Amino acid sequence: MNNRNDNAKEDHIPGINPEHISEIVYRKWKHEGKDLRQIAREIKRPIGEVQRILSQKQKLLIRKGSIKR
């Protein structure tokens, strides 16, 4: 368990809590109008991961019905 936490700490970039990365990606997309490449560059994450995180967040919001489909 401790080992897993250590790995998580090593993975995440300084100043960004890994638990909040979804919120950060989503915020950059919706508030700042940034695209996948820009977000990936800024948070220093692979573009594929950014894509996956953003899609999941969008699906969650649309499923919850906060945005009318």
Partner 1 sequence: MSKKTVTERLLSLSTGKLSCFCPTTEEFRKREDSELTQSGQPGLHLKHSLVTRQGAAVSSLQEFNGSLPGIIQSRFFIDSNWPSLLSFENRGRPAMQASSDDEFHDSEAGIDIYALFNAVNGIIRNGVLDVSELDKYSPADAEALNVSGLREVWKHTLTGCSQCREIITALNELRGAVREVAETADRDDQPKSDRDHIKPIS
**Nearest-approach distance from CB 21 to partner 1, in angstroms:** 16
Residues numbered 28 to 47 that lie near partner 1 (CB under 8 A) are: 29-31, 33, 35-37, 46-47
- What does DSSP assign to residue 13? P
Binding residues with partner 1: total (CB under 8 A): 21
Pairs from 12-18 (Cβ < 8 Å, separation ≥ 24): 13/43, 13/44, 16/43
**Comparing C-alpha atoms, which of 59, 3, 5, 49 is closest to residue 24?**
49
When asked if residue 58 is in the footprint of partner 1 (CB under 8 A), the reply is yes
Binding site for partner 1 (CB under 8 A): 29-31, 33, 35-37, 46-48, 51-52, 54-55, 58-59, 61-62, 67-69
